[in-house]
Chains A and B, each alone.
Chain A
Amino acid sequence: MHLLTLEGMKAEEITVLLDSAQSFLEVLDRPIPKVPALRGKTVAMMFFEPSTRTRLSFDRAAKALSADTLSFSPSGSSISKGESLKDTAKTVLAMGPDLMVVRHKATGAPWRVADWTGIPVVNAGDGAHQHPTQGLLDALAIRQRFGALDGLHIGILGDIRHSRVARSDIDVFTALGAKVTLIAPRTLLPPTLDSWTVETAPDLDGLLEDLDVLYTLRIQQERGAESGFPSVAEYVKRFGVTSDRANRLKPEAVVLHPGPMNRGVEIAASVADGPRSLVTTQVRNGVAVRMAVLFSLLGGEQ
């Protein structure tokens, strides 16, 4: 068993994971936030791409379950000496981990690692493809606020094209019954939207009064997002979540962002730190969701 993608995941499976994450949130609130569930298990963190929050979050999750962790950083490892993904995976496998958490810039890399190693693999982000635990923690944050996602209108704003977060979010939000509208210039939408049941909107202003949730994506300069619009100033003018725009949202509407944030670009600092923002909740949920995922893959018979 792996967690590689949220595509095709059923509402019941998602709900089991979110319920379990809710139980782990209670654990994280205790004076001693640690349970013995995965004592003796080892989780290998295979981050071939830079990451702070996801990597720390998985590490925290594994340790709160009493698992041990192995990790390397791409710059200081044999990756920088040209070792192939397969060799690295095989080398780490020989050290006896029970599960690998894989992040890689190439779409599909976690699937290959799963094939090569035969142990459970969790996709921690592959290229612009999937980021399943992010999708789950976002769904949890929204569920906590609204009770359920069914019937909510969720706008996903910005650089959809380069975003694995968007893909996982679309999968999980629609599976749980939300209506999803992608808000982006045409250049930042993927070439085809055929397999998704989503709507699209070319600008944000017309939708503000209708949204329950505004999910703001990061402009991913490292993935070439800026070729999708004339200038940052132009982007902010049309799509930036400014205080003005946030004020026009429904009173109970919330704003999410996966981080790291470009403050003043896709989201204004006053919104990111304001009462509508669920950013901190998202990060906190991340640890609990990852505990739920690790527990679901390693807590049963192998």
Chain B
Amino acid sequence: MASNGKQVFSSADIARSIRRIAHEIVEHNQDLDSVVLVGIHTRGVPLSSRLSKALTQIANRDMPVGSLDIGMYRDDLGTRPTPELGVTSVPSGIDDKDVVLVDDVLYTGRTIRAALDALSDIGRPRTVQLAVLVDRGHRQLPIRADYVGKNLPTSDAERVTVRIEEIDGEDGVWIEVGSCTC
């Protein structure tokens, strides 16, 4: 079922963004051997796999991927229902690696803050970079993305919905006007 609201990004747009971000990652990291892609639950995980495939095509080598659940690190625990926890697993390890965090939407920055805390508990990367499919603005913390699929100016009252084939059965990004769920 498609989302309500206005579609701002198609399946082809998502594929193109991922290819472009992959090229930017190659450009930005001289030492590709140390790059690890870490997807943030939920939709960052399939996005990181796609990015890894794109990187494999461009750089002709396998890119290690991992997943990170930030539920235990949220700063709003106690103000919403207990989050269901996903799997945290980075088989390659992150010590002295260049970690590229991957998420679907960058908004307040609080998820990324939690992800940075979670990363520091599993190791000490050399650098941490951030790739997002959509940056919708409204940051509440000093955090920015290194790689952005699309900058999407929004108001706080709007809702951005990202749907990813592996989870939702279709690809696309929609904007809905609605009550703020932030």
- Chain A residues in the interface with B (C-beta under 8 A): 16, 19-20, 22-24, 26-27, 30-32, 34-38, 65, 295-302
Contact = CB atoms under 8 A, between A and B. Distances in A.
A295 B87 contact: no
A23 B118 CA distance: 13
Q: Which interface residue of A16, A19, A37, A65 has the most chain B CB atoms within 10 A?
A: A37
Contacts of B86: 23
Q: Which interface residue of B71, B78, B82, B84 has the most chain A CB atoms within 10 A?
A: B82
Contacts of A38: 77
Nearest to B95: A31
5 contacts: A31-B122, A36-B117, A65-B72, A300-B81, A301-B81
Contacts of B121: 30, 32, 34-35
Contacts of A297: 82
B153 interface: no
A102 to B, nearest CB: 21
B91 to A, nearest CB: 12
A32 B122 CA distance: 7
A32 B119 CA distance: 11
A252 B21 CA distance: 48
Contacts of B9: none
Contacts of B77: 37-38, 299-300
Given A19-B84, A26-B89, A30-B122, A36 B73 contact: yes
A32 B95 CA distance: 14
B81 A20 contact: no
A34 B117 CA distance: 12
Nearest to A98: B78
A23 B69 contact: yes
B174 to A, nearest CB: 28
A136 B85 CA distance: 17
A27 B87 CA distance: 10
B1 to A, nearest CB: 22
B84 A26 contact: no
A295 B73 contact: no
B82 A295 contact: yes
Top 10 closest A-B pairs, CB basis?
A300-B82, A23-B85, A35-B72, A37-B72, A299-B82, A300-B81, A20-B85, A299-B77, A296-B82, A26-B88
